[in-house]
Amino acid sequence: MKATLLDSVIFRVGLLAALRSRKLNGQIIGVMITASHNPPDDNGVKLVDPMGEMLEESWEAYGTTLANAPSDDKVLETYENIIGECHIDRDTKANVVFARDTRASGPHLISILMEALKATDTAYTDYKLLTTPQLHYITRCLNTKGTEYAYGEPTEQGYYEKAAASLKAAMQGRQFSGSVTVDCANGVGGPKLRELIKHLPSSSEGGLEIKVVNDDVLKPERLNHQCGADFVKTNQRAPPSSHAAPMTRCASLDGDADRIIFYFNDTDGIFRLLDGDRIATLAALFIGDLARSAGLGEKLKVGVVQTAYANGASTAYVAQDLRLPVVCTATGVKHLHHAATKFDVGVYFEANGHGTVVFSDLALKRINKYAPQSPAQSSALETLRALTALINQTVGDALSDLLLVEVILAHKGWGPKEWDLTYTDLPNRLVRVEVADRSIFKAVDAERRLESPLGVQAQIDAAVRKFKNGRSFARASGTEDAVRVYAEAATRSETEDLAQKVATIVRQAGGQ
């Protein structure tokens, strides 16, 4: 959304954050001002619950009602209604922490947020410029400090020190091979990655050589311009500013550094994408192997969570080659994160590169208390323990995920080619279809099937059956009168044919 339209929204989000903190007996709530991969003139806001997770879903409705209130009187009425419905004690002290990315509109919106917090007598701390995952990390650290669930030192410095220490422990003396070039989308991830590098061993000391590109935050208009994870994923090519040599590992962050994708050009100059599906399968492979090598294979249930947009080849690889359970959820990180917590070790990534690994409390106890029976088990166990600290379990974190991938590749002795060869993606196509009214398209089964309009799913099924390895689904956009059609099949031409056939079915059903 254009930042110039957000003043009233940000103020009302401040009211909501204060209410949420009071409802939770004064626990600290986080507020992040960012618009991720959107253009520089946009901005937005995210709320963080006490354990670093996204705002509880039941409270999203309150936020929507507050944001859409047509007048100040209605805002006050909604505010009072929330207090009543949630039985909130007005005398409970509220606590909020907040930060922003590098957008030019950030300081002004922060000032609006502070006005709301002052109006509600809320204690607050301004953490200035942070990546979104860093604020999630700090929020959890603050709320768990001094408890058995303490997550780390609740500062930006603490974030870097924890990452550096766990990286060293996870490597177990192994060496990194070559460098990795990281495109920071000219966003907040640039200066934060450079700060992280200061805490890591240099390449001359056996550390990872990280080459930082696209980290110009002095010109806000360059944010996400022909760079960043979304540009690379959408255009299926490296940023124009990238001059990496063939077979060089490359990665791109998004504007607030909560997602990352990898890629490389092969020896023939062909672009090869290593997206969120690839990161998830790599992590699941490695963690599953570590658990077995540590003697915990039967005591830790590792599972992978995907959305319908995950490539079918990745799903087959996890189920058939890795022999791990796969769960499909509706689109949206909140759905994946929730499903991942059902496993002892839940690996989740959207194809766009947003994801992480979560360890249950039971899994952490077993990992930390298990007594290894051999030197080999001890080595695997130490690496597994280090990964539980290296991974930012609160939310997808591009910097944490970058280090995770590099650790795994070093342990396996792989370059990008070997990683790419784990399975072959099915050709896929995403088509946007304009419709008169998107609300008539109701999806079920993790958004993989349409229950309305009646008869449309049967037509899609009939079209899919005509293609080898065919799969297609249609999902209404959440923001515009359009339906997105995803299709995949054995060949590029068959995929295109299937996508157009299903798009035609949707177009006719939508009255266009």
The neighbouring-strand residues paired with 476 are: 483
- Structural element, H or E, at residue 475: strand 471-476
**Could you identify the residue written with the tokens 């768990």?**
144
Separate counts of helices (H) and strands (E) for the chain: 17, 18
- What is the spatial distance between Cα 166 and Cα 179, in angstroms, rounded to a whole number? 20
Query: Which listed residue (36, 166, 400, 472) is catalytic?
Result: 36
330 closest CA partner among 342, 312, 348, 356: 348
The neighbouring-strand residues paired with 202 are: none
Q: β-pairing, 122-129 with 94-100?
A: parallel
| CA angle in degrees (0–180, nearest 5) for 139-140-142 | 65
DSSP string, 152-166: S-SSHHHHHHHHHHH
Q: Are 323 and 284 in contact (CB under 8 A)?
A: no
36 is catalytic: yes
- What is the spatial distance between Cα 355 and Cα 43, in angstroms, rounded to a whole number? 22
- What is the spatial distance between Cα 28 and Cα 49, in angstroms, rounded to a whole number? 8
Residues with Cβ < 8 Å from 332, sequence gap 6 or more? none
Measure Cα distances from 63 to 1, 13, 79, 199, 223 in Å. Answer: 16, 7, 10, 39, 28
Distance of CA 449 to the CA centre of its chain: 24
Residues with Cβ < 8 Å from 162, sequence gap 6 or more? 152, 153, 389
* Enzyme catalytic residues: 36
